[in-house]
Amino acid sequence: MKKLVVVAATAGLGMTGLGLIGATSASAATDTSAAFRPASLSWHACQADIVNGAKAYDALGPVKVSTIIQCAELQVPLDYAHPNGQKVTLELTRTPHQGSGPAKGDILVNPGGPGGEGALFGPRVYAQNSAAMQQAYNVIGFDPRGIGFSTPKMTCDEDYSNAPRPAYGTGGAATDAAWLAKTKAYAKACAAKWGPGSKLDLMDHIKTIDSVRDMDTIRKALGNDKLDYYGASYGTYLGQVYATVFPTRVGRMVLDGNVNPKHVWYDAQLDQDRAFDKNIEYYFGWIAKYDNVYHLGNTQQKVHDFFYGLENSLAKKAVSDQGAAVGPDELVDGIQTAAYRRSQAVWHTYAAALSAYKTGDVATFVGTYGVQTTGGSDDNEFAVYNAVQCTDTQWPLSWNKWHADAVRVNRTAPFETWGNVWFNAPCLFWGAKAGKQVKVGQTRDLPKNILMFQATDDAATPYAGALELHKVLKGSHLVVQDGDRTHCIVHRGDKDVDSYFDAYFLNGTLPKQDTVHVPQLGDPTPPASTAKTAASAHSEVVK
């Protein structure tokens, strides 16, 4: 999900598209990856950066995952059609089961994106697992090709996100020209480093189908006949495609926060625009409910007016402090986190920072919403997001269509429509050809035991898409959390949700009904103390 996008940027999901398999059914027997035989994995102590990253999850459960995590590297073909050609290296982690005797299995996990780092998602999932799950299963994390600790790591322009960026605007000639030039330059920088003619043509081999083939290679390297899998956000799309291309290799598969397989990817952003607008207005209503805490207005409309007034003001002059700045884009990107997840830390932090701005506390406001003004930042996630999205399937190449659709949607959903346009606009200029989309579910031997989880008011992957996927994955079961606005609901503190997850992995037990419903936990209340930091909110965001 990061979003379908990425929280730090605007609305992407962390979604992506699909790859090179044809539109007809496919199977492991006919897929080009069948010819490649990986080396066995050699597990060893992890490098310090990975161990230190895992320490963030030590407090989530009784087991300090940073003390038990193991690492391995796996070489896979850049192009599975040429298995003996150039290779890329995937970074894997294993957080081992704590039970005596052999593990029940290995659960491969992916956090979404595309572009989300997965090596450290493994210890996170393990730490959040129940004691019974920790006793039974090893959890395998992996950084997909081009991402994180895998090599090479794809970056294109580390100064791209320096603040303040040009205002997203509403489709005017000046903002369009500025952003079209900016996104074209970014696509050109990526092509120069990673496109055809470069030392390693990664851009032509970083589609969803490439990562799906990598997942099957990981299965082989683990020595498993079947793949057990948990995928969140865009990770659900990886699961969908895997189940279609390698249907007989699916063991137990959980998909959480589900991508609509028929809206990959252009239509997915339009779905998000409407859903995020709905959620941010709900959040404004929550802020108004606690006007005695935030003092931004005692009605939803008043908070709405304050926010959009502030956005307009920042478009005229950004606010800066300690080498960071907040312009209109940074404001929208930051508060979008609250539309991703219903959480006390997240909801309070962003509301409190708006309140701080109103009282003249610029340091707190910029500390929460600000982005560095110089020096650049790691654009790995953004680079891979575009590399996957832009080549999974063909985006419209007509700017007139993009503009007309955005103008139409923006009339009723103004919150992040134009931000989403510019987040995805590099696809207008991308320097690699798009592939053909895998038709999810159209294969013989489609597994009938896939378990799905979904909140009805998830903005990153809207509920209608989960219903579509449930229909396409015939025989799947769906757990729905009614009224919840959280993107991905497993391990979010709901015992009813997690009990279905555990019963499935531990015993193979699916819900008795095709679809079951659980209630949301309820909206948060502001904490007694207002000393929460932005870091506490950011740590809860699902990518």
Catalytic residue among 216, 228, 273, 458: 458
As separate numbers, helices (DSSP H) first and strands (DSSP E) second, the chain gives: 18, 13
Closest by CA to 20, choosing from 209, 196, 247, 203, is 209
Long-range contacts of 420-423 (CB under 8 A, 24+ apart): 420/5, 420/10, 420/11, 420/12, 420/269, 420/272, 420/273, 421/168, 421/179, 421/269, 422/10, 422/168, 422/179, 422/182, 422/183, 423/5, 423/6, 423/9, 423/10, 423/11, 423/12
Pairing state between β 515-519 and 137-143: unpaired
Pairing state between β 227-232 and 105-110: parallel
Q: Is 487 a catalytic residue?
A: yes
How far is residue 55's CA from residue 58's CA, in Å, rounded to a whole number?
5
| Distances from the Cα of 466 to the Cα of 260, 385, 388, 450, 513, angstroms | 6, 21, 21, 13, 16
Q: Is 295 a catalytic residue?
A: no
The neighbouring-strand residues paired with 13 are 3, 4
How far is residue 199's CA from residue 251's CA, in Å, rounded to a whole number?
38
How far is residue 522's CA from residue 159's CA, in Å, rounded to a whole number?
40
How far is residue 33's CA from residue 245's CA, in Å, rounded to a whole number?
11
Task: Tell me the DSSP string of 139-203.
Answer: EEEEE-TTSTTSBSPP-S-TTTTPSSPPP--SS-HHHHHHHHHHHHHHHHHHHHHHSTTSSS-GG
Cα 230 from chain centroid? 14
Cα Rg, the chain, nearest whole Å: 22
Q: Are the CB atoms for 502 and 495 separated by under 8 Å?
A: no
Catalytic residue among 233, 343, 355, 476: 233
Q: Is 458 a catalytic residue?
A: yes
Q: Are the CB atoms for 189 and 382 separated by under 8 Å?
A: no
Cis preceding-peptide flag for 164 (omega within 30 of 0): yes
* Residue where the block lists tokens 């959280």: 486
The neighbouring-strand residues paired with 478 are 452, 515
The per-residue b/e assignment along 285-299, b for 16 or more CB within 10 angstroms, e otherwise, is ebbbbbeebbebbee
Catalytic residue among 263, 304, 348, 487: 487
Q: Are the CB atoms for 46 and 420 separated by under 8 Å?
A: no
Q: How deeply is 436 buried, as exposed, middle or buried, from its count of CB atoms within 10 A (0-12, 13-18, 19+)?
A: middle
Which residues have a catalytic role annotated? 233, 458, 487
